[in-house]
Structure 1
Amino acid sequence: MDFALTDEQQMIAETATRLAQDRLAPLAERLDRGEGRDAFLANLKVLAENGFMGLSISAQYGGTEAGSVAFALTVEALARACASTAVTTSVTNMVGEVIEAVGSEAQKETYLPRLTGGGYAAGGFCLTETGAGSDPASMRTRARKDGDDWIIDGSKLYITSGDYAGVFVVWAVTDPDARPGKGISCFLVEAGTPGLVIGKAEKKMGQTGSATNEVLFENCRVPGSALMGKENDGFRVAVGELAGGRIGIASLALGVARAAMDEAKAYVKERRQFGKAIADMQGIQWMIADRETELEAARLLVLQAAWLKEQKKPFAREASMAKLFASEAAQKATYTALQLHGGAGYIQDYALERYARDARITTIYEGTSEIQRLIIAREVMKAI
């Protein structure tokens, strides 16, 4: 088995790392304080101009065609500098992939170049609702036909990039009499459409630079051409894309964890107690060894899932394994890194407390750790 990256993948990873260090890292602390939105949007534009908003999108629509492995490497590299930028990039790539997978030719030609080229700052993925998080089939947002148009009513919750997304992929029930999951359709709704209302940004524990909003649909009229794919086939599309999104969040968790451990390793080499660097103490060494082993295992799981997706092979089980393991490993790594800093880790002068807060959500969004375990068990038992 060849674990070597291709020249293209290596170049993309190096470019993402350079941009992250030069542009994202200097802004991350300000974003965490709720400042620097204009600079954040400017960075998203730069990422788009460098091909990072359409890593798996066809070149004819402005994409990079680099594939899922390059996507995973990119999100990891960005997250080491700024988790808020990484999650925005990940979700925007998800939106683009949905449009390319099921959109009409007109939809792809209209919206994909705007996402991949930075015409839109980001894309929005409108699936979650108050009563439909881990169980999206229970959604209550409705879309009903009115002549040649559709009218959407309902609300979506915790929508990444709601404040500045240029287009939203929206799931709504189109056949309320169908059994759960079978009467749902998928729509494209452009920002500024009458009846599309962006609620206030949520005040979050971490990843505060990325806006997370409620998105309301109040008698929101869209043309018949806004329907993506087949009517009442949207749930299948959502489930498939969520699996891909889990690769992105696993990569993000890994990036944040790597950043935390980098800080910790540098600190323990400098910090001296009892006449020697604490890095020379066996207890410290074992803490680092355990975390580094877990993160290396997480990276292999992420790359396996990404490779399977890129090869168009089944990858749902592997994506859930990667997301579960990487996000849980990130909790251990960020808290271990904080512990290795001692009291200094609790002080905001150091980045450790931000890393711990940024990593915490990775066990929750794109499917909680508990949901990942259900998916993994289901897939394993299906194979028997």
Structure 2
Amino acid sequence: MSSNRAVAYKGPGKVEVVDIDYPTFELKDGPGVNPANVGRQLPHAAILKVATTNICGSDQHMVRGRTTAPEGLILGHEITGEVVETGPGVEFIKEGDLCSVPFNISCGRCANCKKGRTEICLNVNPDRPGSAYGYVDMGGWVGGQAEYVLVPYADWNLLRFPDKDQALEKILDLTMLSDIFPTGYHGAVSAGVGPGSSVYIAGAGPVGLAAAVGAQLLGAAVVIVADMVAERLGAAQAFGCETIDVSQEDPREGIARILGTEEVDCGVDAVGFEARGHGQGAGEAPATVLNSLMSITKAGGALGIPGLYVTGDPGGIDDAAKEGSLSLRLGLGWAKSLSFTTGQCPVMRYHRQLMEAILHDKVQIASAVNATSISLDDAPEGYAEFDSGVAKKFVIDPHGVTKLTA
């Protein structure tokens, strides 16, 4: 049996590369595993040799100690890999297939999956609808920042790349299909972005930049990206976005400077619950982004909210924030007849089309988010650097795949 190494959360501000068990076709007990999932037999699963696995801003929330994640949790929900073994119930996925793994774990059998709502599958997480690899309160499925990972319901979940050699040449783009590209695109779609739209995207991290790329694919006339980090705003400018530094300029004033009017057609929250207030030296104010989006989005518009919000935040600024309760101006949203779309992105709704856009050179998502390959051993340094606000998307490469294709 092969060995396996992975990135583990070891407490606030600390991750380590540790030895873990090689995957088997049974879900075993471990940090974060729901007791009702222990011993679950997985004949429908596949074992993947991880090609690339990305560090996500959602992982950073856990590593900062801003969730109830248990120490020892194996991290990583953005996974691309080669199938090395399949269970007896797998019919269509074969050994040697190079595949993208949607971060949503779904069964393909329940009522929600049959409606395309794979982000709220009813059968994979005993705690609540919806699940993911290596994430707090998501059922305890082992994360993919590892050398090898198990993917349940492989025939359903895995997106096989049609040409393995072509896929390897574009691996830094295709690795974004597991989460941030569909998630950003979903934010733009659910905000109602279409040809000729003006859209304001709060946050120039990887998901915000992916939302901006998605808005451009959807035909937006003007994409405005707001952030407080100059390097991240520069990344958005590099592929044609307008920008607002909200540490220096009020969003409405910035929009007026760019558009000649103080409102946009569509708004996207790519920040989430650790949002800060606007202005120089502003501290944490978790409702800031949502309230500002309601203010600057035209009546009858929509807000896409791919930014993460949690039900338990030990580091929240007050008792309300610690349980995910925010002071929202819901009356303003009601008065303007705004629509809201929250929750995980249903990755399978978009990933095949976005794969085709990548393979046919219609989009360069790796360049837009500054994909930066690092080794598994360098993952702790990658987490620390990402947390400092750099304009990079760190891609962990456990087996040197990106070096072979560079």
Higher RCO (CA < 8 A, seq sep 6+): 2
Q: Name the one with the larger helix percent.
A: 1
TM (normalized to structure 2)? 0.26
Q: Name the one with the larger strand percent.
A: 2
